[in-house]
Structure formats: structure tokens, C-alpha cells
Amino acid sequence: MKTLLSAGAAALATTSLVHPAAAEDITVGLLLPYSGVYAALGQDIEAGFRLGLEQFGGETDATFEIVAEDTEVKPPVGLAKARKLVLQDKVDVIAGIVSSGVLGAVSDFVDSAKVPLIVANAGNDEATGANCSPYIVRMSFSNGQVNRPMGKWMREQGINTVFTMAPDYAAGQQMIAGFVEGFQSAGGEIVGQEFTPFQKTQDFGPYLAKAKASGADAVYVFYAGGEAISFVKQYDSFGLKSGLPLYGAGFLTSPLYVEAEGPAAEGVIAALHYVPTIDNEANAAFVATFEAKTGRTPSEYAAHGYDAAHALVLATAAGATDRESIAAALPKVSFSGPRGATAIDPATNNIVQPIYVYETVAGTDGLTQKVLAELPAEADPANGCDLAAASN
């Protein structure tokens, strides 16, 4: 399915008007879920990406054409669509991918096809670790990066025992492994773990009963998209929230769907690399323009898309015109963005960034994100990846 979306056509027209004498046309393959449990995430990433091209397009002579494809959150479909974008549409660069499972399926293909991939969500640790590639740059987060520091922080708050839950696929396993590593190395004890069938679990009741019976001080989870909405609502309606505090990776209570969770989300404490309440100038500008354009607050997903577009614009402004030169230029970009100073670790091609601990609280205009702590940026362990040495 070739989808040159109409909203995209509008964005393209805007970019072309700004640059009537464009030097290069860059074709971007947007590889996102537009169906399945992460469909809303894909749409928010695309909204952020298009806004980023509009916002920063003035910094390059290049123009951008977008071809969008739906991964359906299915690894084999994601791989087939990546092959189509590269072999049929002949894109210069791919951006997107929400699910760690899809990223795992696509990584080797983009590496061998030598096509640059800007990861705009999926946190699969291996893509910037054991299975890293000079063609893969991540502008979002890694699964370990978000959760490891939260384990240590929760232990410092006096939490001794935790029960964990997550969907049973790469992201769930890696996010929980990161949390467990941080929590146990700070002296905490894991008293139970459940991995729920991904995209299939409607009723979390049996798992919540086990969490309650575990006697843990707290529950720590990763859920995102439609699964996060169901989980947070059921946790509250099961009567657990008051006696067994709920913590998690911050996708759990994303601004994208926190209003759908409603009061059940109030008091949940979570860790994330971006919340719209981060206090800096670039974030204020991003929030204002995103709200003016879409009528909603930007989420972490929109921020990934926006920063991915910013990075691509800067790579082309530095002279990149084709697959090889874009791949070489992307890891070198740095800018001041909604997450503050933004740069890529040359050893792994993963973004380096602080992690924010935030609580969902009632604000004047609905639910909002109150920042409780900023945990310092740490580069991920290289886990066998050494891109810096490879490029020397």
C-alpha cells in the first residue's frame, strides 16, 4: 500500500514553498503502526515528524517526500513493508518503528541493504547493543535506559519488594530486566513476575490477584497504548491502587491516552525521558506549536517524531544527500530540543538523555505530569557494540 497521505501532501507543499530552489529531494519511508494496539502511537509520531519537517525545514535546501507504511505491530509485516520501501519506493531513509519486536525483525535488513533507519520509538536494547549498525540511529530511548535508573530511585524511596508485570515480547522483557537490574543492585527484592500475552490480554484480573497475594510493597509495570488504558483502569477497579502503589515505565500514563484512563491514573508514578512539563525553551515552543496544530498536548511519541525530523534536517543541512551520507551524518547531529541538549552516543548510536520521574496529578485542564525527580543522563552499556572503533 503506497500512502502518500494527504496531510503529508500539505506538509510537503509547505516545505517546497519555503525552498523553491531545493537542491535535493529526500524520500522518507515512515514505517509505523496505523492499526493494532499501537495505532495511536504511530499517528502521534507522524504528527511530530511532520511538524518537525515544517519547523526546521528552513535550515536545509533539501525537500522531503513521505511514503508511509503500516507495520500492524507485526514483525513479519514490518519486515515486508521495510523491504517494499527500500526496493520498490527506493527511499533514502526510513524513520519510525514503534514495537521492539518489529525493530528486531527489520534491523538486519536495513544493515545489509545499507539504508539509514532513524528509530522514532522502539526501545529494543539490541538495536543499539549486540545487534547495532552504523545504519541505525535511535532518537527515542532504549528499554534499559528508561527503567534501570527507576529501580535505583524506587529503592531510595524505601521500597523493598516489588511485583512486576509486562506484555510478553521483547520490550516487556527488556524493560522489566532493566528495572530489575537497577532495583536488585540497590538491594531490592523481586517477589513475583508475570508476562501477559501481548495484544491478547483483555482481563488482567488473574495476574492482579497474584500481585495482591505476593505481599509486595509496590507493583512495577510496562504497558503502552491500548493495553496501558485497560491495565490502569483494571488496576483501579480491582481496588489495588490505595494499598499497593503502582509504578512503571512512563508510557503507562502517556499524555496521549491518560485522559482515557481518567482518575484511575492519578497518583501513578513513572519514569520517562520526555514529559510535556519539562521546563526549557525548546520544549515550550514544541508544546505550543504542537497544541496549536493538533489541539492536544504532545506525548513522548510526538517528541520522538519531532526530534527524528530535526535530526534528518540537520543531516541534510550538513550536506547529506543519499543513503550513505545520511547514515554517516545522522550520528553526528546535536541540537537543543524538547528534551534539552540532544546528542547521540557514538559508541552505540543511541540517544543520551536524562530520565524524569513523574506523577500523574489533576491539573486545571485535566490530568498532567508533575516532575518529582530528574535522574542524570547515562550512556547505555555498549553490550558488544563498538561503532566508534568501527568508524576509526
* Min separation Cβ 101 and ligand BEZ, Å: 6
167/188 with CB nearer ligand BEZ: 167
CB 297 → ligand BEZ: shortest distance, Å? 17
Which of residues 122 and 211 has its CB atom nearest to ligand BEZ in the complex?
Answer: 122
- Least distance CB 264 / ligand BEZ (angstroms): 19
Q: Smallest distance, Å, CB 334 to ligand BEZ?
A: 24
Q: Which three cell numbers stand for residue 192?
A: 513475583
Which residues here bind ligand BEZ, judged by CB under 6 A? 38, 98-100, 121-124, 171, 224, 251
Closest to ligand BEZ by CB, 256 vs 269, is 256
Q: Which is nearer to ligand BEZ, 228 or 315 (CB)?
A: 228
Identify which of 196, 127, 188, 139 has the alpha carbon closest to the alpha carbon of residue 166: 196
Residue nearest to ligand BEZ (CB): 171
| Per-residue cell: 288 | 505550543
DSSP summary character for residue 30 = E
d(CA 162, CA 190): 5
Nearer to ligand BEZ, 26 or 171 (CB): 171
Nearer to ligand BEZ, 124 or 145 (CB): 124
Q: How near is the Cβ of 99 to ligand BEZ at its closest, in Å?
A: 4
Q: How far apart are CA 189 and CA 332, in angstroms?
A: 40
Q: Please state the closest distance from residue 123 (CB atom) to ligand BEZ, in A.
A: 4
Cα–Cα distance measured from residue 238 to residue 235, given in angstroms and rounded to the nearest whole number: 5
Residue-wise burial string across 69-83, b where 16 or more C-beta atoms lie within 10 A, e elsewhere? bbbbbbbebbbebbe
The 3-state secondary structure of 270-313 reads EEECCCCCCCCHHHHHHHHHHHHHHCCCCCHHHHHHHHHHHHHH
